[in-house]
Amino acid sequence: MTLDEHAVQSYGQNTSVPSKTEILNVVGAQRVPGRRVFDKVNPVDGSVNVQVHEADQSVVDQAVSAARASLTSPWASMPVTTRAELLRRIADVIDERFEDLVAAEIADTGKPEKLVRELDVPRAAHNFRAFADIISTAGLDSFLTDLSDGSSALNYAVRKPLGVVAVIVPWNLPLLLLTWKLAPALACGNAVVVKPSEETPSTATLLAEIMTQAGLPEGVYNVVHGFGVDSAGEYLTTHPDVDGVTFTGESSTGSAIMRAVAPSVRPVSFELGGKNAALVFADCDLDKTIDGLTRSIFLNTGQVCLCTERVYIQRPIFETVVERLTQRARQLTLGNPMNPETTTGPLISQEHRKKVLSYFDLARSEGANTVVGGGIPQLGQDLERGAWVEPTLWTGLDNSSRVVREEIFGPAAALIPFDTEEEAIRMANDTKYGLAAAVWTTDLQRGHRVAQQMKVGMAWVNTWYLRDLRSPFGGVGLSGIGREGGMHSLHFYSEPTNVCVQL
């Protein structure tokens, strides 16, 4: 089934995509070439946007050395209040370079301009302002202890930076997730070496200009480009002078990084994959629920770790929800990211499209009923080489299906009926992943009760993707290790030293 013709927009010529150029690695204040270049392909139309320099071992060594050297500069002794002021200045420069960041993010990802303007770039600035506030008010333990000899002792903790942190970020929300990690890392006084996805190199590199413009000392922020195995990713995670690794991406890559850091017992923070469930009860506010499910299934073409891929619907409203979600899927508009009517962009690459399409085929072989989508949309000659797929919904599957058990990371979800609350909880928790869940009900007691029984790091009730940056963010099982957000981020990016003074 193809999408309605009125929902298709032509890519046209007015896309504001930057002209072809080169992206180099960033070491201190220098742009450094790599051992070879590779093409960054625009997922919208298959054209080559830029050529990117892949970092070899020597470039990674230079970047780590520059980061290490910065830790003996005034950066290491900079007062917390001064660092907080610098974070706010970075946020201000992000606002000043707003249009540049928008253009770079669209060129890399193909996501709709409206989404980039409303989510990705504003959130990048907000991340720095939020952690400037958090570090400014953060405290540590202190205890006054009475001793048996009548004296006392004062124990207090001081916060020290972790050191050189490897920051490895994915392609789905490249600027947002980079700044989500970078802001607390800098707030704690660390130096970073960033390895962006090979699919989205632009905003991480542009951020180096912003850092310099804001006054960040040389060497505190470095960028190396490349891939994973036998490339920048492996060289960085196995580097002996890297003190910690934070990573967002696939669970299998997280396992590989864990093996790499194990011999030196370095701390890691992983936010990995998800196979997130939504539980829709018959007493839900149907309009609000349909709005929420449409976002949670299809936002960013389903390429968000928190997106919903399993929707469990109580049987009395099952057919109604299926019908209304199908209608919403057909109303999504695929096309030119610069067109204000566009709601849905392409997948990130042809390689990822092959993966998603393989699950479309698998669903059919497993007996699914494809109620909408299930293929490649016809968007015209300008877009035929892009990584497009149709927003897709299935019925007729259950938890034994691979499509229901394995992460797809695309605009697709299985709709499955249930009868009782206990059955819904059991099915939702029947997964090796544990990142997020959403519960839709007007029964407040049920909402609290069910959400607390979800085996996930985050559970929403009657909403989705609503975040307070002070709250813990992360998953369990194959969805990750550790938590970020608020004080949880500060705990990862710093080491406390306890000082004991007998009085």
**Which active-site residues does the annotation give?**
271, 305
Q: Is there a contact between 392 and 334 (Cβ–Cβ < 8 Å)?
A: no
Residues with Cβ within 8 Å of residue 213, at least 6 apart in sequence: 93, 97
d(CA 108, CA 141): 44
Beta bridge partners of 31: 26
Q: Any idea what the Cα angle at residue 391 is, between residues 385 and 397, rounded to 5°?
A: 125
Query: Which residues, 6 or more positions from 190, have their beta carbon under 8 angstroms from its beta carbon?
Result: 71, 161, 162, 163, 164, 165, 493, 494
**Residue 469 DSSP one-character state:** T
Position 397, amino acid:
L
Taking the C-alpha atoms of residue 417 and residue 423, their distance in angstroms, rounded to an integer, is 10
Handedness of CA 295, 297, 301, 305 (dihedral sign): positive
Q: Which two tokens stand for residue 45?
A: 């139309």
CA dist., res. 441 & res. 318, Å (int):
14
In angstroms, the CA 264 to CA 238 distance is 9
For residue 264, what are the CA distances in angstroms to 68, 238, 239, 259, 483?
Answer: 17, 9, 10, 10, 21
